[in-house]
Amino acid sequence: MKNQLRRLWIDNRAFFLAACLLFIGGGLIGFLQASAVESMVNQLMDQLKEIVERIRESGGGVLATFWMIFSNNVVSSLMMMALGLFFAFFPIIGLLSNGILLGFILSKAQGVSPWLMLGAGILPHGIFELPAVLFAAGFGIRLGVLSFRSVGVLIQPHKGERLKNDWYDTLKQFPVAVLAVIGLLLIAAIVESAITPYIIQELLGGKMRINLLN
C-alpha cells in the first residue's frame, strides 16, 4: 500500500499543483474582488446554510455534525474526481468556486485578523481536508487531460498506444486515490466537528463576526 501511495503521488503531483494554483487564484479573486463576486458567493452560502440547517435538524451534536461534514465532503470530492472525465470542467469550476468562497469569507471577517481566522477556523482540519479536496480535483483534471488527448488521437493516431497505457495506469490508480481521499476527509471531519469549534471559541470567542451582507 505504501508503494501504491508513493506511485499515486508521483504520477499526480503535477495535477495536484495545478489544483492548488486554481484554488489560490480563486481565493485571491474572492478576497480582492469581494463586491464583484458577491452574488455568486450568496448562492454558495445558501448551500452552506442548507447543510447547517440539516445538522440542526439532526440534533446539532458532534456526531451529526461529523456525519454531515464527512458525507458532504466525500460526495463533492468524488464528484470532482469522476466528473473530471468531462474535460476537467467540473473540478476546475469547483476549485475556483471554493477558493472564491474562502477568500470572500476572509475578506468579510470583522473584528479579527483574517490570518487568525484562517489559522483558528480552517487550518486545524484544513491540513487534512484541503489536500484531500485538491488531490481529488487534481485527479479529475488528470482525467480531463486524458479526455482531451483522446480527442487528439483522432488527428494523431500514432499516439494511441501511449494514450491507452496512460488510461490504464490512471484507472488502475483510481481506487487507491478514492481510499486516500476518503481517509483524509474522515480525519478532517473528526477534527472539524470535535476540535475546531473549541479552538475558535478559545482563540476568537465573541470577537469574530462575518458580515456577508455589505
Of 22, 20, 132, the residue nearest 77 (C-alpha):
132
Mean pLDDT value across residues 31-57:
84
pLDDT at position 113: 66
Q: For residue 212, what pLDDT band results from cuts at 50, 70 and 90?
A: very low
The residue type at 68: M
The whole-angstrom separation of Cα 106 and Cα 26 is 13
Residue 172's contacts (CB-CB under 8 Å, 6 or more residues apart) are: none
Positive or negative: CA dihedral 67, 56, 213, 112:
negative
The whole-angstrom separation of Cα 214 and Cα 206 is 20
The whole-angstrom separation of Cα 184 and Cα 23 is 18
Tell me the pLDDT tens digit for each residue of 56-98.
777 767 888 899 899 999 999 999 999 999 999 999 999 999 9
Tell me the pLDDT tens digit for each residue of 104-137.
988 877 666 667 777 777 888 899 999 999 999 9
Dihedral, CA of residue 151, residue 156, residue 158 and residue 161, to nearest 10:
-10
Q: For residue 199, what pLDDT band results from cuts at 50, 70 and 90?
A: confident
pLDDT at position 205: 58
Tell me the residue range of the domain where 178 lies. 2-210
Number of domains in the chain: 1
Mean pLDDT value across residues 168-174:
96
Q: Average pLDDT, whole number, for the chain?
A: 87
Positive or negative: CA dihedral 195, 196, 202, 203:
positive
The whole-angstrom separation of Cα 156 and Cα 158 is 6
pLDDT at position 101: 92
pLDDT at position 166: 96
pLDDT at residue 142 tops 80: yes
On whether the CB atoms of residues 98 and 56 are closer than 8 A, the answer is no
pLDDT at residue 159 tops 70: yes
Quote the DSSP letter at residue 188: H
